[in-house]
């Protein structure tokens, strides 16, 4: 895959107007976009469908988790929308139900291991007995066993996760920050070049591009950094 196929720009903005402006500014430089809760609940689901119909690839970041039947029903409809990737929390039963529902659709299902905004203290507070690294690897093993298409994890865990899931599954890493960029609320971050070297297959970049004074220039700089590694 080329850098353009691996870079996913997160449309983490509150309105469709802002999202449309960003997509227009980035034009043909960017192929892949992520749409999450914020934009989804502001008309972003129809926007996602339209972008997919226009030839863009869409990573729908919904982090699904519910009873098996509800997860399966949601996955079936999302597959019909033409989405390329979809996240769900990496709980074994939910993953198995999703995989069965997505069969034959081409939708890549991604298991969310541990959010990049969480550290060991956050996991302890939430009642988990594992540290982030151990929990990420455990969920990666379960995702591979369930037949998932890939994993979402911090780039800090990418090298270890790649050893668990093998060479074929997608490994999508958010929390990507070019050198010198503000970390924001992310606690585990890495540069684009280092993330690719660690085994990431796709990089999710939002604020460093969408909040940049010149989003197109920012995106091109990241693509160039990725291309050097690839």
Percentage of residues in the chain having pLDDT higher than 90 = 79
Mean pLDDT of the chain: 92
Q: Quote the pLDDT of residue 132.
A: 82
Cβ(10)–Cβ(205) under 8 Å?
Answer: yes
Task: Write down the CATH number for the domain with range 3-229.
Answer: 3.20.20.70
Facing residues of 64 across strands? Answer: 88
pLDDT in tens, 110-146: 999 887 678 788 888 888 888 888 888 999 999 999 9
Please check the confidence at residue 222 and state whether its pLDDT lies above 60. yes
pTM of the model: 0.91
Cβ(153)–Cβ(136) under 8 Å?
Answer: yes
Band of pLDDT at residue 184, cut at 50, 70 and 90: low
**Domain residue spans in the chain?**
3-229
Average pLDDT over residues 211-226: 95
Band of pLDDT at residue 181, cut at 50, 70 and 90: low
Q: Quote the pLDDT of residue 180.
A: 55
Q: Which amino acids are annotated as binding site, given as ranges?
A: 12, 34, 61-70, 116, 177, 186, 206-207
Average pLDDT over residues 35-60: 97
Please check the confidence at residue 179 and state whether its pLDDT lies above 70. no
Band of pLDDT at residue 189, cut at 50, 70 and 90: low
Band of pLDDT at residue 206, cut at 50, 70 and 90: very high
Average pLDDT over residues 91-95: 96
Cα–Cα distance for residue pair 83/74, rounded to 1 Å: 12
Cα–Cα distance for residue pair 118/84, rounded to 1 Å: 26
Q: Which amino acids are annotated as binding site for substrate, given as ranges?
A: 12, 34, 61-70, 116, 177, 186, 206-207
Average pLDDT over residues 216-225: 95
Average pLDDT over residues 15-22: 97
Exposed (0-12), middle (13-18) or buried (19+): which is 186, by Cβ within 10 Å? middle
Q: Quote the pLDDT of residue 7.
A: 98
H, E, C per residue of the chain? CCHHHHEEEECCCCCHHHHHHHHHHHHHHCCEEEECHHHHHHHHHHHHHHHHHCCCEEEEEEEECCCHHHHHHHHHHHHHCCCCEEEEECCHHHHHHHHHHHCCCCCEEEEECCCCCCCHHHHHHHCCCCCHHHHHHHHHHHHHHHCCCEEECCHHHHHHHHHHHCCCCEEEECCECCCCCCCCCCCCCECHHHHHHHCCCEEEECHHHHCCCCHHHHHHHHHHHHHHHC
Catalytic residue set: 61, 63, 66
What is the distance in angstroms between the CA of the first residue and the CA of the last residue of the chain?
9
Average pLDDT over residues 201-219: 95
Please check the confidence at residue 150 and state whether its pLDDT lies above 70. yes
């Amino acid at each position: 895959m080329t850098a353009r196929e691996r870079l996913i720009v997160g449309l983490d903005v509150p309105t469709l107007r802002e999202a449309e402006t960003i997509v227009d500014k980035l034009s043909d430089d960017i192929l892949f976009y992520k749409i999450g809760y914020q934009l989804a609940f502001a008309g972003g689901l129809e926007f996602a469908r339209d972008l997919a119909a226009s030839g863009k690839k869409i990573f729908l970041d919904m982090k699904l988790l519910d009873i098996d039947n509800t997860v399966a029903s949601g996955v079936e409809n999302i597959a019909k929308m033409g989405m390329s990737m979809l996240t769900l929390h990496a709980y074994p039963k939910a993953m198995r139900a999703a995989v069965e529902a997505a069969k034959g659709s081409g939708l890549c299902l991604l298991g969310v291991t541990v959010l990049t905004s969480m550290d060991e203290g956050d996991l302890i507070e939430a009642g988990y007995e594992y540290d982030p690294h151990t929990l990420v690897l455990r969920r990666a093993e379960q995702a591979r066993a369930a037949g998932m298409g890939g994993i979402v994890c911090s780039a800090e865990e990418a090298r270890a996760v790649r050893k668990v899931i093998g060479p074929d599954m997608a490994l999508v890493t958010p929390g990507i920050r070019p050198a010198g960029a503000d970390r924001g609320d992310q606690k585990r971050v890495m540069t684009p070049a280092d993330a690719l070297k660690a085994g990431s297959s796709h990089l999710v970049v939002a604020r460093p591009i969408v909040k940049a004074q010149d989003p197109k220039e920012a995106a091109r700089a990241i693509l160039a950094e990725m291309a050097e590694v690839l």
